[in-house]
Amino acid sequence: MPNLLPFARPCRYLLLWVALVAALRAASVGAADTALAQPAATARTPHVEISLVAEDAVAQAGGPTWLGLHFRIRPGWHIYWRNPGDSGYPPSFTWKLPTGARAGEIAWPTPARLPAGPLTNFGYKNEVMLSVPLVLSGDARSGSLPVRVEAHWLVCEEVCIPESASLGRDLVVADSARPDPATAALFAAARQRWPAAAPPADWELRAEAEAGGVALHLRVPGSAPSGLQFFPFAEGLMQPAAEQTLQRDGDDYRLRLSNAEVPLAPWQRLHGVLVPAGHGSGPERAEVGAERTARAFVIDLPIAAAAGAAPVSLLAAMLLALVGGVLLNLMPCVLPVLSIKLLALLKPEAPASVERTRDARNHALLYGLGVVGSFLLLAALLIGLKAAGHALGWGFQLQSPTLVSALALLFFALGLSLSGALPIATLAQDVPGAWRLRHPRLDAVASGGLAVLVASPCTAPFMGAALGAAFALPPVQTLLVFAALGGGMALPVALLVRYPAWLRWLPRPGAWMERLRQLLALPLYATVVWLAWVLVEQIGPDAIVPLGAGLVAVAALAWCLHLRDEHWRRAGALVCAAAVITCAIAPAGKPSGGAEGKLADALPGPRAGERWQPWSPEALAVARAGPAPVFVDFTAAWCVTCQVNKRLVLAREDVAADFAAAGVVLLRADWTRHDPRISTELGRLGRSGVPVYALYPPHGAPLLLPEILSRGSIQDALRRIAPAVSAPS
C-alpha cells in the first residue's frame, strides 16, 4: 500500500482553497440576488424620474407614516389625475409589503386643466408627489421593513407612452418616530396641494340639475372668488373641455357644469374638488380672504332634481324600455324559447274554441307575470350587487360558467322532452306530462322566467339607452323602468287577452302538432351547441369534458325514466339527476384560455398582422392619443345579436375596407366573462349591456351606433368623422 502521508497536507490546503472560493462565490451570488430583490428608490424613464421617499427616517410601530411617489416630469409632458378628463388614465401602484403593514389610498393633489386642442385633460406637469399613508400594526417588529412598489403611469405630450418602474426602500421601525429632515419640505409642499376636506364653514353650497347639466349655487360672505373650477372624481359625467362660468344669481353665485356628450347618465351627487381661481399660481386676493379662496376643497352634494325634470326623464326611460321590450321578441336570443311559447298556445288538450281561448288568455297573463317578475328580480339583484361595489351590467348572469352549463343541460333535457325521449314529469308523477297538465299556471310563469333568462343578455334597439338611464335613477324608478321593459316583452302574447279573436287564425289541433313538437326540438339542440361554444370561450376546451358528461347523464336519465320497475326507475333517475347537477357545477372555475385569457393579453398599442386588437383602458388611451379614429366592439360570446352582427357585418371584407380607408383602429372588448373595466366603460357610454358599438373620433365624444349593425350605419358614422369614406354601394 503506498504511503499517502506526503500528499495529505497539500490536499488539505487544496480543499480549504476550494471551500474559500465556493464561499466567496456564494456570497457574491447572494449579494447579486439581494441587489435584484431590492430595487432602487429612484428610477428613470425617457420622460419621468420617479422616487420612492418616506416622511419619517424612523417610523413608529403601531402608528401611521407617509410614503410618497415623487414624479419629476420632462418639460412639455404630463401625467394624469384620478379622473384623467377626456383621455388617459391615472397612475396606479401595487404594493408589496410584509405582514403587519398596509398601504392606504393615494392622496391626490389638486389637478390642473391641460388643454389639448378641443380636448381637456386633468393632471400634472413638471413635478408632483402622490402620497400614500402606510399603517403599521402595533406588533410590527423594530428593525428594517422592506417596502416595494410597482408603479404604472401614462405620460403624454402629443403622443402618450405607458411607463412603469419597480421601486423599493427599507423603512426603519422603532418604538418612536423620527422625521426625516431631508424630505420634510417635500411632504410639506405636497400637503399644500391637497384639497381641504370640506368647504369653508361660512360657505353655503347646493347643487341642482338643469337642462344639459348641473348648476352649483353658492353663497359666501362678501364677494365670491373671481373664478371657480370644478373637477369631478367620477369619469364620464361632465364635459371636461366645456367652459365653467361663474355668474351672479341674485344673492348667490352660480357655476354651470355641462353634462357629458354621451348622455342618459344623470349625476346623483356632485362629488369632486372645487378650485378657486389662482390656486397653484399664487394666492387669490378676494374680499372673503386669501385663506379661504386660495385653498381648493372637496365637495360632496346631492343633486336636487329641477322642477318637472325627473318625471320627464323617468317617463322617457320607461317609453324606451317598453319599445325595446317589444323589439326584444324579434332578437335571435328569443329563438330558443320560441318553440315553447308556440306549443303553449297550440294545446291539443283543449279542442273547443271557447276553452282554447280561455286557456290561451290565462297562459298569456301568467306568462306576462313571469316575464315582468323575472325582469324585476334580475334588476333588484343587479341593483344590490352594484350597491355592494360590484361593476356589473345587464346580462351578467350568463357571465357565470355554472349558469351557462346548467342552461345547456336544461335545454338538452327540454329538447329530449319535445322529442318524446325524456318524460320529465315522471320524477314527480308516474304519468308522462302530468306535471304540466296539473300545474299549467306555474308552467306559464316558469316559461316567462326562462324567456327572460335567455333573452335578457342581448340588447334590442332602444333597450340599451333605457337600461343606461335606468341605472342612473333611484332604485324604485329603476324597477319601474325594468317593469316597463318586461311589459314590452310580454306585450305580443298579452295582446291575446285583449283580442281573443286572434286565436281563430291559429290552426286547429291535430296529429300534425306532434310532428311540430318534435321539429321544434331542433332549435333547442342548436342552443345546446351554442352554449357549449360559449362555455369553451369562457373557460377553455377543458369545459367539454364535464359538459359532455352532463349530456350523457341527461340521456341516461331519459333511459331510466322508461324503466318499468318503479324502484329501479326512481333510484336510477335520482343518481342520474345528481350526476347532471354535479356536471353543471363542475365548469365553475378559472379560465384556462378563454375570454379572460384574451383580455389579459391586451397590451397598449396595436399588434402587427391583426385586424382587431384586444381592448383595454390602456390600449384605448394609447389609440386615442393618435390621429386615427377608434372603433370598439363591445361583445360577448353569449350575446347572439353580437355574434350575428360580427359575422354578417363586421367580418365582411367591404366593411373592413371602409374601416381601412378611414384609418380606423379596431378594438374588441370581450365581456364573455366578468370584466369590471368593460362594465365601467359601458357605464361611461350610458349603457349597461352588449352589444355596444362606439366610434371614438380623434377629438370629442364617441358616437354610438345602433345595436343592429349594417354597413350603411357604419359608413354614416364614419362620414361624420371622415367625410372621405365612400357612400354605401
pLDDT class for 594, splitting at 50, 70, 90?
very low
**What pLDDT is recorded for position 209?**
81
Residue 166's domain is classified under what CATH number?
2.60.40.1250
Q: What is the pLDDT of residues 440-458, one digit of tens each?
A: 677 778 777 777 776 655 6
Q: Between the ranges 97-106, 465-474, 561-570, where is the mean pLDDT highest?
A: 97-106
Q: Are 711 and 649 in contact (CB under 8 A)?
A: yes
**Is pLDDT of 704 > 80?**
yes
Residue 290 confidence (pLDDT):
34
Residues 368, 456, single domain; the answer is: yes
Task: Determine the 3-state secondary structure of 154 from DSSP.
Answer: strand
pLDDT tens digits along 398-452: 667 777 777 777 778 777 777 777 654 433 333 334 455 566 677 778 777 777 7
Cα–Cα distances (Å) from 172 to 43, 83, 175, 357, in that order, read 22, 34, 10, 84
Residue range 644-665: average pLDDT? 89
Which residue segment(s) compose the domain that 607 sits in? Answer: 595-721
Same domain for 447 and 471: yes
Is the Cβ–Cβ distance between 635 and 695 less than 8 Å? no
As a whole-number percent, the residues of the chain with pLDDT over 90 amount to 17
Per the domain annotation, does 456 fall within a domain? yes
Q: Same domain, yes or no, for 176 and 235?
A: no
Tell whether the model's pLDDT for residue 570 goes beyond 50. Answer: yes
pLDDT tens-digit series, residues 227-247: 789 999 988 788 888 888 888
Q: Which of 355, 335, 339 is nearest to 508 (CA)?
A: 355
Average pLDDT over residues 121-142: 85
Based on the fold, state whether residues 429 and 518 are members of the same structural domain: yes
**pLDDT at res. 345:** 55
Which of 121-125, 205-209, 390-394, 444-448 has the largest mean confidence?
121-125
pLDDT digits (tens, 9 = 90+) for 293-313: 457 899 988 887 654 444 446
In a domain, 728, yes or no: no
**Dihedral of the alpha carbons of 571, 575, 578, 582, in degrees to the nearest 10:** 180
**Res. 79 pLDDT band, cuts 50 70 90:** very high
Residue 118 counted as domain residue: yes
User: CA 431, 437, 440, 443 torsion: positive or negative?
Assistant: positive
pLDDT of res. 472: 62
5-39 pLDDT per residue, tens: 444 454 555 555 555 545 555 554 444 344 345 67
Q: Write out the DSSP string of 126-169.
A: SEEEEEEEEEE-TTPPSEEEEEEEEEEEEEESSSEEEEEEEEEE
361, part of any domain: yes
Residue 608: CATH number of its domain? 3.40.30.10
Q: What is the pLDDT of residue 268?
A: 76
Number of domains in the chain: 5
Task: Provide the grid cell at 579.
Answer: 350526476
- Whether 168 and 264 map to the same domain: the answer is no
Q: Which residue, among 164, 77, 64, has the nearest Cα to 104 in the 3D structure?
A: 64
Among 122, 297, 128, 107, which residue's Cα sits nearest to residue 216? 297
pLDDT at residue 643 above 60?
Answer: yes
Task: Report yes or no on 280 lying in a domain.
Answer: no
Report d(CA 312, CA 318) in Å as an integer: 10
3-class state of residue 327 by DSSP: helix
Percentage of the residues of the chain whose pLDDT score is greater than 70: 66
The pLDDT assigned to 191 comes to: 92
Same domain, yes or no, for 426 and 573? yes
Check residue 632 and give its pLDDT. 94
Residue carrying C-alpha cell 336570443: 333
- Higher per-residue pLDDT: 620 or 590: 620
| Res. 113 pLDDT band, cuts 50 70 90 | very high
Residue 533 and residue 447 share a domain:
yes
Q: Which residue has the cell 310532428?
A: 515
Cβ 122 vs Cβ 80: under 8 Å? yes
599: pLDDT strictly greater than 50:
no
Which among 567, 585, 603 is the end of a domain? 585
**Radius of gyration (Cα) for the chain, nearest Å?**
33
Pick the residue with more confidence: 343 or 309?
A: 343
729: amino acid identity, one letter: S
Residues 14 and 114 in one domain: no
Structural domain includes residue 664: yes
pLDDT value at residue 433: 44
Q: How many CB atoms lie within 10 A of CB 478?
A: 23
Q: Does residue 197 sit within a domain?
A: no
Judge whether residue 186 has pLDDT over 90: yes
Q: Are residues 670 and 681 in the same domain?
A: yes
pLDDT in tens, 54-65: 999 998 887 789
In the DSSP assignment, the letter for residue 333 is: G
Same domain, yes or no: 463 and 571? yes
Reference 500, options 372, 363, 370; nearest CA is 363
Helix (H, G, I), strand (E, B) or coil at 143: strand
Q: Distance (Å, rounded) from C-alpha 59 to C-alpha 65? A: 6
Lowest mean pLDDT segment, chosen from 189-193, 207-211, 313-317 = 313-317
Does a structural domain hold residue 199? Answer: no
In sequence order, the 6+-apart residues with CB closer than 8 A to the CB of 228 are 216, 218, 244, 246, 255, 274, 275, 276, 277
pTM assigned to the model: 0.48
> Can you give the pLDDT at residue 152?
93
Q: Which residues, at least 6 apart from 43, have a Cβ–Cβ distance to it below 8 Å? A: 49, 50, 51, 165, 166, 167
pLDDT score of 219? 85
Asked if residues 331 and 455 have their Cβ atoms less than 8 Å apart, the reply is: yes
33 lies in the same domain as 48:
no
Residues 421 and 523 both lie in one domain: yes
Pick from 144-148, 284-288, 641-645: least confident = 284-288
